[in-house]
Amino acid sequence: MAEETGQTLVRPDRPIGTDLTELAVLSGAELIGSDRTVHGVTLRAQDAGPGDLFAALAGSRSHGADFAAEAVERGAVAILTDAQGLTRLRAEAATADVAVLVHDDPRRILGGVSARIYGDPSRQLTLIGITGTSGKTTTAYLTEAALRAAGRTVGLIGTVEVRIDGVRVPSLLTTPEAPDLQRLFAVMLERGVDTVVMEVSSHALALGRVDGTRFAVGGFTNLSQDHLDFHHTMDEYFTAKSALFDAASPVHAAAAVICVDDAWGEQMAQLARGGAERCATVSTTGAADWSITGTVTADAGSQTVVMTGPDGAEHVLTVPLPGAYNVANALLAVALAATAGVPVPTAIAGLGHVAVPGRLEKVDCGQDFLAVVDYAHKPAAVEAVLATLAGQGSGRIAVVLGAGGDRDTEKRPLMGAAAVRGADLVIVTDDNPRSEDPAAIRAAVRGGAEQVPSRQRRAEQVREVGDRRAAIAAAVDWARSGDVVLIAGKGHETGQEIAGHKHPFDDRAVLAEALDAAAGQTAAGDRVLTVFTAGPEATVDQAKALLRTLAAAAADEGVGSTHRAPGTDETVHRRTWAIFGDLAEAGADENARCVAHDLLGRQAVRLAVDQTLAVGQTRAVRALYQGAIMEGSWGEEAGFFTTVADLTARLTAAAGTSAVPRGGDMVLVAGGGDLAASLLTVWDADPALDVRRPTA
C-alpha cells in the first residue's frame, strides 16, 4: 500500500460514489450546474484525482477557489464552496462551467458530505475514539494491542502514525481533515479492518473534522491546560472535548468510558450519562466501575496491579510502562476493549509487550544512567513524567525542554515551573519555535522556573542553551552513574519547525549521538579534570615553565588540538586550557610587565593550548589577552573576564559543556591572587568531575 504523502494518497480500490443531487439534499447546499457522480473528495488541489469533489474553503490568507483550476486539471469534476468562491470560480475560464455545490458554511457540511461520498464507512466499523489532554496516544496503542489479542483486524489513527491493517501511513495531525478521515475509513474497511482506534483532538471536534463519523465507543483520559491559544478558557476546552459524549452533539459516542481521576472527568461522566447508551467510569484513585485495588510489583520498566471490573471480578494487570498515569491509560484501554466486546483476560494479555514511540522511550547506548525521550509538552505531563522518573531511583534528574511557538503562551512559564520542581538540572532550549522569536519563548519558560520559591524547587541549576542538539549534549555530559536524563517535548517527532521551515531532528537519534560521543570521552578518562596550579604570587617565568609542563603532559596523554584526528568534532575532544591572572615580574616597570604578559599569551598559543583565558582589569592582563589574540586565529583561542566572579559564574552556568573546562581536559591556573582557589572550589563541587592536581 502506498504511503500518504502530498503526491500519493491511499484511496479505496472500489470507490462507491454519490451524485451531486444527493449531496445537495443531504447538506442543504445548492447545486449549480449539471449533476455528476463524485467518487472522492479533497481539500487540497494538488491531491485531487479523477472524479473528485474539491472543497474550496475560505482561509485566513486565501480562498480555496483560487486553486480550483489546478484541482480541475487533475481530474476534479465538481467543487464545494461558498458564494464568494462561486464568484471567483465563474471569473476563471478553467472553472467557469464546472458543477458547484454552494453553501453558506461549506466547512460545516464537509464531514457529512465526505462520509456519504465514501459510503458512510464508520457505520460499518467498530470505531473507538479517545480524547483528553494527555494519554491519548498511549491509550490508543494499548487499546489496539488488546483488540489484536482478540483476533480483531485493527486500524489505528493517531499522533504518531496511521496504520491500515498493519501498514504505516504518516500522520501530520492528531485527527486528519474530514475528507482524509473518511477516505481512510473506506480504505480500512476495504482491507478487512473491523475495528478502528483513533485519537480525537479538541481541534478536530471543534473544527468539524470528525463530522459524519459514528463512534461506537468514546474514551476520555483527563483534562489539563493546553491549547488555550485556540479554546481561550478551560471551560471552552472542556466543551470541545465533550462533543464526543454530549447527547446534543451529532458525533457523540454510543457508549462512553470516562476516567474520573480528576474533576473534569467527573464532570464529563455526568454529561456522558445523558448521551450514551452505556457509560462506564475508570479510576486509579477511587471508586469506579473499573478501578485499581492494589499494587503487586513495580520496577523501572513495568508495573503489576490488581484491577476490578464492573462485575466485581479481580484481575492482575501488568502494564509494560512506568508511571501511575500509565496505569490509568492501561485501565482505560482494557475498559474500552471490553466495551467493544473483548473478554477482559484477553485484553489484559494483549497489553503485555506494548511499546509507544516517544513516550518514556529509552535510548540505551550502554551508558550507566537512564536516558529517555518523552512527548510531554504540557505542564501536567512534565510534572507527571518527572514524578515517575523520580520514583524509579535515587539518582539526579536532568530535563531538557522548551515550548512550542505560535501556541498557548500561558503554559510556557508553567512548563518551567514544573521542571524545576521535579528535576535537579533544567536546561531550557528550543522546541518548535515556528514563527516566533526562540529567545522570547525560552525567556518565558525560564521566567516561570525562576519564579518558583526555593523551598519548592528541586533544581540546583537552570541553564539556557538555545541549540537543542547542544542542550541534549550538555545534559548527557552532566549525567553520572545512576542519574536520569529526560528529553521532553517532541517525543516521536522527526522535525523541528523554525521560521517556516521544518528541519530534520529526532530527539531519539540526537540523544543516541550524544551518548555515543560521551562514551568515547568516558573511555578517555572523561571525568578527570587535571589542574596544574602556580601560587597566587607566581611570576611570568614560573607561568612559562608551567606552560611547558602542561604541554608535555598533554602530549603524553593525547590531550589538545595537536593530537586531534582530522575531522574530529572539537567540542567533544579533550582540550587544554591556560587561565592567567596578573603575574609578578620583579623589578619591572608597567610597560615591561605588559610586554612580558603579551609574550606569555603568545607562547600559550604557540604551544597549541586550545583556550587561553585572561582574568583581571590590569593593563598587563589585557596585554596577555591581546597577545593571545594576535598570535591566534580570529581570537577564537582566547577569552577575557574582568573579575574572578565573572569566570566562576560562567563555569557554573556552562558546566559540562565545551564552553568551559570539563572532564578529560587539562588546565593551567597561575596568578591572580585567589584565582586558583576560586576555580578549584567550583570544580571540586561539581559531582561530574574528578579533580586531580599533579605537582608542577
Domains in the chain (CATH in brackets) are: 18-117 (3.40.1390.10), 121-350 (3.40.1190.10), 361-523 (3.90.190.20), 528-692 (3.90.190.20)
Is residue 644 helix, strand or coil? Answer: helix
- Residue 258 cell numbers, joined: 470516562
At residue 78, the 3 state secondary structure works out as strand
CB 496 within 8 A of CB 467: no
**Is 81 in a helix, a strand, or coil?**
strand
Whether the CB-CB separation of 299 and 308 falls below 8 Å is answered with no
Sign of CA dihedral 461, 466, 472, 474: negative
Contact yes or no for 473/339 (Cβ under 8 A): no
Angular region, 312: left φ>0, alpha ψ -120 to 50, beta rest:
left
Is 489 annotated for ligand binding? yes
35 annotated as a binding-site residue? no
> Is 407 annotated in some ligand binding site?
yes
Q: How far apart are CA 3 and CA 23, in angstroms?
A: 29
- Do the annotations mark residue 432 as ligand-binding? yes
Beta strands in 88-203 (DSSP E): 99-102, 126-131, 154-157, 161-164, 167-170, 195-199
Plot region of 673 (φ>0 → left; ψ -120 to 50 → alpha; else → beta): left
Query: What does the CA dihedral 68, 71, 72, 76 come to, rounded to 10 degrees?
Result: -120
Q: What are the CA-CA distances from residue 668 to residues 95, 323, 612, 661 (Å)? A: 77, 47, 9, 11
36 among annotated binding-site residues: no
434 marked as part of a ligand binding site:
yes
Instruction: Extract the residue ranges of the chain whose pLDDT is less than 70.
Output: 1-8, 170-175, 225-232, 298, 300, 521-526, 563-573, 586-587, 633-636, 695-696
User: Distance between CA atoms of 283 and 222, rounded to whole angstroms?
Assistant: 11
- Reported as a single tens digit per residue, the pLDDT across 32-68 is 999 999 999 999 999 999 999 999 999 988 999 999 9
- What are the helix (H) ranges across 122-177? 136-149
Q: Does residue 11 have a known ligand-binding role? A: no
Q: Is 175 marked within a binding site?
A: yes
The three cell numbers locating residue 665? 581536559
Known binder of ligand: residue 585? no
Rounded Cα distance, 506 and 586, in Å:
59
Per-residue confidence (pLDDT) for residue 568, from 0 to 100: 47
Backbone φ/ψ region at 208: left (φ over 0), alpha (ψ -120 to 50), beta: left
Q: How far is CA 82 from CA 31, 68, 71, 106, in A?
A: 12, 13, 17, 6
Q: What is the pLDDT of residue 694?
A: 84
Nearest to 494 by CA among 379, 386, 370, 357: 357
CA dist 350 and 128 (Å) reads 17
State which H helix or E strand residue 600 sits in. Answer: helix 590-606
Q: Cβ distance 69 to 92 under 8 Å?
A: yes
pTM value? 0.70
Rounded Cα gap, residues 413 and 452, in angstroms: 10
Per the annotation, does 174 bind a ligand?
A: yes
605/622 Cα distance (integer angstroms): 16
User: What is the Cα–Cα distance from 680 to 662, expressed in whole angstroms?
Assistant: 12
Distance of CA 37 to CAs 23, 73, 185, Å? Answer: 10, 17, 20
Cα–Cα distance between 544 and 349 in angstroms, integer? 71
Does 522 belong to an annotated binding site?
no
Give me the pLDDT at residue 360, please.
87
Which run of H or E residues covers position 598? helix 590-606
Query: Phi then psi for 111, rounded to 5 degrees?
Result: -60, -50
Closest to 675 (Cα-Cα) out of 545, 578, 602, 560:
578
Q: Please compute, for residue 564, the number of CA atoms within 13 A of its CA located in the half-sphere on the CB side.
A: 19
Nearest CA among 656, 585, 592, 647 for reference residue 616: 647
What is the pLDDT, as a whole number, of residue 644?
95
**String of b and e for 667-691 (b: at least 16 CB within 10 Å)?**
bbbbbbeebbebbbebbeebebbeb
Does 346 appear as a known binding residue? Answer: no
**Distances in Å between the alpha carbon of 394 and those of 252, 387, 424, 457?**
46, 12, 12, 17
Q: Is 249 annotated as a binding residue?
A: no
Backbone angles phi, psi at 357, to 5 degrees: -60, 130
Cα gap 481→460, rounded to integer Å: 18
Residue the block writes with cell 586531580 = 692
